[in-house]
Amino acid sequence: MKENRRVVHYLNQFFGQIGGEEKANISPQKKDGPIGPGMAFDKTLSGEAKIIGTVICGDSYFNENTEQASQQIIEMITSYQPDAVICGPAFNAGRYGVACGTVASLVEEELGIPTVTGMFVENPGVEMFKSKIFIISTKDSAAGMREAIPKISSLLIKRLEEKDNYDAEEDGYFDQGMVRKNYFAEDRGAKRAINMLLTKLRGAPFTTEYPMPEFDRVHPSDPLINKEKKMFALVTSGGIVPKGNPDKIEASSATKYGRYCIENESNLTDQTYETAHGGYDPTYANEDPDRVLPLDAMRELEDEGFIGKLFPYFYSTVGNGTSVANAKKYAEEIAAELINEGVEAVILTST
């Protein structure tokens, strides 16, 4: 019977009603029945299915222990023998989005049951997972919960009924790109293209059959003149931080950056610095952090008079999965500080 279809809900520590950032390191746990937004999901599923269990994991724990956390979560989900899984929604929470995307894709691959999640367009989880799973487009915060829940529920019911009439625009999920569906159009492609072009030239509204991605256009700066008189600064998205990561910059989907003094240092050692980045093997960066943030090379250039001076602080964050919106925000804030300090050139390093 329809009402016996079983759904498991995956949540982070906040929506799982355990706590905020101070509880982001909790390991996976499960609780019977719906919790938090799960209550609303149960109502919108309208007897077609029921949330019989909730699995909760802290955002930091998941992203810092992805393999272990994923295995634990899949085992907990499996224990409920569900027919489907809902993850989130994560809105614009980057770490939560990556966790929801990872869990949903693993459930689809390993358990072979349908999943649906929800995220804001700039959540890094969208770009990482939209070709593998169904991600409903949501607003950027929990203020969009009331709007997101019915859409997620509706698509989940469709998937449970094994319908094949999914439509990204109608159902509200992100286009899955390489997923192909055959259909017979009344007019051939060339004619449809010409009709769209003529419609566009008339200034009338039309819907393209192949939306193009939007890219920022960044114009290069003018060449640097008199570099031997300029002050340079070091900025990195490679996650180099003082030992112990005092600002707790996340290993993925960073929500902050750090500013660290190097005024009296000539190189970075494994005794005092490390990387917080979770997107590459940290072995070589931790052995010699100068490999990611080249303080030693900059000091040599400074001593040789090749550059005027090195700014006494460096800025660092983690680029791994960090949302475009956050990256732009960090860049604007860091650039404003550097300009105010008289810095005229930046060496920006990645991984």
Same domain, 158 and 271: no
Same domain, 105 and 250: no
Count Cα atoms within 13 angstroms, Cβ side, for 336: 6
pTM of the entire structure?
0.62
Same domain, 53 and 143: yes
Same domain, 167 and 65: yes
The segment with the largest mean pLDDT, out of 164-168, 215-219, 282-286, is 282-286
Same domain, 10 and 85: yes
Residue 220, in any domain of the structure: no
pLDDT band at 275 (very low <50, low <70, confident <90, very high): very high
Task: Count structural domains, the chain.
Answer: 2
Same domain, 55 and 129: yes
Same domain, 55 and 138: yes
Rounded mean pLDDT, 283-306? 97
Rounded mean pLDDT, 331-350? 96
In the structure encoding, which two tokens stand for residue 167, read together?
A: 């439509």
Same domain, 143 and 261: no
Residue 205, in any domain of the structure: no
pLDDT band at 210 (very low <50, low <70, confident <90, very high): confident
In the structure encoding, which two tokens stand for residue 234, read together?
A: 């070091």
Domain that holds residue 129: 2-171
Residue 256, in any domain of the structure: yes
> Max alpha carbon distance in the chain (Å)?
79
Residue 215, in any domain of the structure: no
pLDDT band at 2 (very low <50, low <70, confident <90, very high): low
Same domain, 332 and 234: yes
**CATH classification of the domain holding 42:** 3.40.50.280
Same domain, 148 and 253: no
Same domain, 114 and 259: no
pLDDT band at 207 (very low <50, low <70, confident <90, very high): confident
Integer angstrom CA distances of residue 187 from 170, 181, 182, 190, 204: 22, 17, 14, 8, 20
Instruction: Give the whole-angstrom CA distance, residue 155 versus residue 302.
Output: 60
The residue from 171, 201, 236 where one domain ends is 171
Rounded mean pLDDT, 182-187? 82
Residue 190, in any domain of the structure: no
Residue 240, in any domain of the structure: yes
The residue from 133, 149, 171 where one domain ends is 171
Residue 186, in any domain of the structure: no
pLDDT band at 184 (very low <50, low <70, confident <90, very high): confident
Instruction: Give the whole-angstrom CA distance, residue 8 versus residue 54.
Output: 6
The residue from 142, 171, 200 where one domain ends is 171
* DSSP string of 244-304, one letter each residue: T-TT---SSS-S--EEEE-TT-SS--TTTEEE--SSS--HHHHH-GGGTS-HHHHHHHHHH
Residue 54, in any domain of the structure: yes
